[in-house]
Amino acid sequence: MRTRDLLHLRNTGHPGINSLFAKAHSADWDFEHDVDWTVPIAADDPLVAHGWGAFGKTPTFLSLPEHAKSRATRRAVGRMLNILQVGESVAQDVCAKLVLLLHEEDYRNHAAAQAMDEARHHLAYRRFLEKMNEEPEDIDAGTEMMFDALLASNDALEIIATEQFFLESFAMSIFESLRDSATHPLLRRIIELITRDESRHMGFGVLYLAEWLKRQPLDRRVAFARPWLSQILGSLLDRPGPIFLARVIRRLRDAGVADAEKLAPQMLREQQEINAADLDDVVAGTKVPHLLKSARRVGLLAPEILDAIDFGAHPLIRGALRSEREAAPLSP
């Protein structure tokens, strides 16, 4: 960019995207004063209800001694907060890059405001992890690879589709589950404040992509929809299984459950029943995950796209469309 390019910055005039920047200020919160950091975190506090963690709702897990359950649940929370704190730094990086890549005034403004939100989120998670006072488990290789690929991109559309549309819609379900299950007041407070910001970020991804898709011919829309819908369906079908179970068993063993390995087959069977029931709710359309809501809002579930890629018959997509039809008469 040169001064001449900045002299007459174009604003797209999109009311939704322009209002995001104003909301970033009116809904602002102060990292030091709006959170009471004096609230202590006891060393044996599980921080969330046991049912929040993978395998935490299984009858076998719930029948274990309270001390072991608390240790395992607390480690699960620590691992998630560690992924989130680094995810915030990744988001801050890509938003800073978007400020430079995007040439529209309202898009650049949103990206600048989001970069500041992400810096604050990073600090909040880091401070909470410090107060937990234990080394969190390392992030997994798959997450690290995905973050690395995002950090390497210099394409605004790819960055927004990955960060604001996919990752922030995916993360929104994690924030909601943490907010609903948090038993520690400080954790609940920071998640509530952060979730408010994240819904604006996800909103930008949805509005930006909806605008972009509207301008594309059908073949371009189909080419965009195919990989993203595959990724969305893949991540929705990815439920806690044997790999995650190994992690939970290790936590239980470290917490003093001597025969933890022996519990594994039974816990896996019980979790598979829970997974199936969760998916049934999505298929029935009674629960529509944020990823599918966002896909629907940007137009990826338009009939002509679903016809072209043969995804229309997928039970999860049918569930999202069914819930839209049932909700339609109530909408204003």
Where do contacts with Fe ion occur on this chain (CB under 5 A)? 88, 91, 118, 121, 198, 201
| Residue nearer to Fe ion on the CB measure, 106 or 118 | 118
CA 295/CA 319 separation, integer angstroms: 13
| Shortest distance (Å) from residue 165 CB to Fe ion | 12
Q: Is residue 294 classed exposed, middle or buried when 0-12, 13-18 and 19+ CB atoms within 10 A define those classes?
A: buried
| Shortest distance (Å) from residue 168 CB to Fe ion | 5
| Shortest distance (Å) from residue 290 CB to Fe ion | 13
CA 186/CA 36 separation, integer angstroms: 7
| Residue nearer to Fe ion on the CB measure, 79 or 251 | 79
User: Nearest 5°: CA angle at 295, between 290 and 296?
Assistant: 95
| Residue nearer to Fe ion on the CB measure, 174 or 245 | 174
CA 98/CA 94 separation, integer angstroms: 6
| Residue nearer to Fe ion on the CB measure, 80 or 91 | 91
| Shortest distance (Å) from residue 238 CB to Fe ion | 22
Q: Are 244 and 55 in contact (CB under 8 A)?
A: yes
| Shortest distance (Å) from residue 52 CB to Fe ion | 19
| Shortest distance (Å) from residue 89 CB to Fe ion | 10
| Residue nearer to Fe ion on the CB measure, 202 or 321 | 202
| Shortest distance (Å) from residue 305 CB to Fe ion | 27
| Residue nearer to Fe ion on the CB measure, 74 or 121 | 121
| Residue nearer to Fe ion on the CB measure, 106 or 168 | 168
| Shortest distance (Å) from residue 112 CB to Fe ion | 13
Instruction: At 84, list the tokens.
Output: 């989130």
| Residue nearer to Fe ion on the CB measure, 196 or 287 | 196
Please give the backbone phi and psi of residue 5, each rounded to the nearest 5 degrees, phi first.
Answer: -70, -30
CA 212/CA 219 separation, integer angstroms: 14
